[in-house]
Amino acid sequence: MQFLKRATVEIDRDLLESLLSMATVIEARDAYTGGHTWRVSRYGEELAKRIGLDADGIFIVRVGGLVHDIGKVGIPDQVLNKQGPLTPDEYANMKLHPDLGRQILARHPLAPVVLPSVTEHHERVDGKGYPAGSPASVYGKLTAIADSFDAMTSTRPYRKGMEASRAIAILRENTPAQFDPAYVEPFVELWEKGALDHILGHANDQRLMLSCPSCGPIIAPPEDAKSGDEIHCPSCKGSFGLDALGDTFHIHFKRSLETKPTLMPDKCAVKSVLSCAKKKVHCMH
């Protein structure tokens, strides 16, 4: 996109907060996402630092990771929340989300900051990605690695997340066809030295994801969770009590709800990105 080639964007804090709040809508629609956008944002940030991007680049990847799946708001519930593999037609539908995101954000003043991650996170180096074929920017390439690693290591009700070591091996197997080797190896190095451990399986730097005893580890405890609180699984009707256990919680079944609970946006992720907001960002794609 020509208009994204070079831009200096003033970051209005209120505008950024409203954009990030929009992005949390997807956490409130997708029952199984459980902190995915936060983890993609944080994996991307660590990788951006590791490869030596400047502060502007790191910020672009951090914000882009949180917003990258915003186009999923246009994907029907029966596809987005399907408990099983997608049919070819459903998959074709799902593949529209990067371009839907582009259309939603195209005229947004902060578009140059977030569109690379939004539009390019399913692109492939060999040109077989979508919607364009191959990524144009380093930001899109970093978000693609972060997104794929989190998708593979996250448990969904119909399939258990794989071991991080297996996901790392798959990233390598798909390099250089899918991913850029210049960025995969630094990501592997980060993982090998344990620098991603505080993100893996977490919904926040302090919050470890909890296991729903019925359907899998996809409950993100609220930021202010404490012993005695009751939390609901977003995908089954289980309601559970929390008992503090070190820096996490033990979870025990309390009751079955009559209807599925209302999903909540992840306000904590918005706050964490706002805390590193810059005044001005130079985008060079």
Residues that bind Fe ion (CB under 5 A): 69
User: What is the smallest separation between the CB atom of 74 and Fe ion, expressed in angstroms?
Assistant: 12
User: What is the smallest separation between the CB atom of 170 and Fe ion, expressed in angstroms?
Assistant: 17
Please report, in angstroms and rounded to a whole number, the separation of the first and last CA atoms in the chain.
9
User: CA 167, CA 71: separation in Å to the nearest integer?
Assistant: 25
Nearer to Fe ion, 11 or 152 (CB): 152
**Residue with the two structure tokens 């672009």:** 60
User: What is the smallest separation between the CB atom of 215 and Fe ion, expressed in angstroms?
Assistant: 22
Dihedral over Cα of 246, 267, 191, 158: its sign: positive
User: What is the smallest separation between the CB atom of 97 and Fe ion, expressed in angstroms?
Assistant: 6
User: What is the smallest separation between the CB atom of 205 and Fe ion, expressed in angstroms?
Assistant: 23
Contact between 64 and 139 under an 8 Å Cβ cutoff? The reply is yes
Nearer to Fe ion, 69 or 120 (CB): 69
User: What is the smallest separation between the CB atom of 125 and Fe ion, expressed in angstroms?
Assistant: 17
Which residue's CB comes closest to Fe ion?
A: 69
Phi-psi group of 228: left, alpha or beta (phi > 0 → left; psi -120 to 50 → alpha; rest → beta): left
User: CA 253, CA 231: separation in Å to the nearest integer?
Assistant: 10
User: CA 285, CA 276: separation in Å to the nearest integer?
Assistant: 21
Biggest CA-to-CA distance, the chain: 55
**The tokens of 260 are what?**
């599925």
Distances (CA, A) of 90 to 34, 72, 84, 103, 221: 22, 13, 11, 20, 31
Nearer to Fe ion, 45 or 69 (CB): 69
Nearer to Fe ion, 96 or 277 (CB): 96
Nearer to Fe ion, 9 or 96 (CB): 96
Nearer to Fe ion, 69 or 208 (CB): 69
